[in-house]
Amino acid sequence: MGKITSDGDVEAINYDGFQLTKLDKVIGAARSNSMWPLPFATSCCGIEFMATMGSNYDVARFGMERMSFSPRQADLLIVAGTISKKLGPILRQVYEQMAEPKWVLSVGACANTGGIFDTYSVLQGIDRIIPVDVYVPGCPPRPEQILDGIMNIHELVKNESLRRRYSDQYKDLMSNYNIESNESDEQ
Ligand code: SF4
């Protein structure tokens, strides 16, 4: 019998010269350590995100320094800032253009709930138009909080089953948002 080890990402049984583990675990570790974020930043929270990108906080430690401004080459949508109702359809279009699997991080009170802007023109939370995986509270959240949100996303990604995107539960979630799931027909 080999020795069971865990390096925090992948639990494996080690034998002389080879390892046994689950495919889900390996794919999850690979995905969570190679995320390409798409920053959708509109206001003050966007500045906090820029600070998070800088050398003091340094998202390069996660291999995430390569921002993608092309939705088709991104798997993590980071929404930071106030989203007006006029901007809502653009945000939704960006989300729809991203290929599966994709995740969403909502940064700050405005993106989460509309924040202090309880007005006719501001969307009262991006989860009214797209599903959100992790919410970061604060007005604005500090870079440490944004890093915490990113690490929570990594935990979700690491532990997500490969079949989740094909599940009825996921299809129901997408249909609640009137979004056609990219993977629903590919089983
Ligand atoms: S949550 Fe606060 S800091 Fe962030 S965009 Fe809204 S008003 Fe600005």
For residue 123, how far is its CA from the centre of ligand 1 (angstroms)? Answer: 13
45: enclosing H helix or E strand: helix 44-53
For residue 125, is it left (φ>0), alpha (ψ between -120 and 50) or beta?
Answer: left
For residue 53, how far is the Cα from the chain centroid? 16
Instruction: Decide if domain 22-176 falls under CATH 3.40.50.12280.
Output: yes
79 lines ligand 1 (CB under 6 A): no
Share of the chain above pLDDT 70, in %: 91
3-state secondary structure of 40: strand
7 — pLDDT class (breaks 50, 70, 90): low
141 lines ligand 1 (CB under 6 A): no
* pLDDT attached to residue 19: 81
* pLDDT attached to residue 185: 47
46 lines ligand 1 (CB under 6 A): no
Answer whether the bond into residue 71 is a cis peptide, omega within 30°.
no
Distances (CA, A) of 184 to 30, 64, 173: 23, 28, 12
For residue 106, how far is its CA from the centre of ligand 1 (angstroms)? Answer: 12
**Beta-carbon contacts of residue 159 (< 8 Å; ≥ 6 apart):** 28
Which tens digit of pLDDT belongs to each residue from 29-87? 999 999 999 999 999 999 999 999 999 999 999 989 889 999 999 999 999 999 999 99
- Nearest residue (by CA) to ligand 1, atom 8, is 44
Cβ-defined contacts of 56-65 (< 8 Å, 24+): 56/143, 57/143, 57/144, 57/147, 59/147, 59/150, 62/33, 62/35, 62/150, 62/154, 63/33, 63/34, 63/35, 64/35, 64/36, 64/37, 64/150
Of the residues 110, 113, 119, 146, which should be mutated to test ligand 1's pocket, given the most ligand atoms within 8 Å of the CB?
A: 110
- Nearest residue (by CA) to ligand 1, atom 3, is 140
- 186: pLDDT strictly greater than 60: no
- 187: pLDDT strictly greater than 70: no
For residue 27, how far is its CA from the centre of ligand 1 (angstroms)? Answer: 35
CA atoms of 27 and 21, how far apart (whole Å): 11
* pLDDT attached to residue 4: 65
- Nearest residue (by CA) to ligand 1, atom 2, is 139
pTM summary value: 0.90
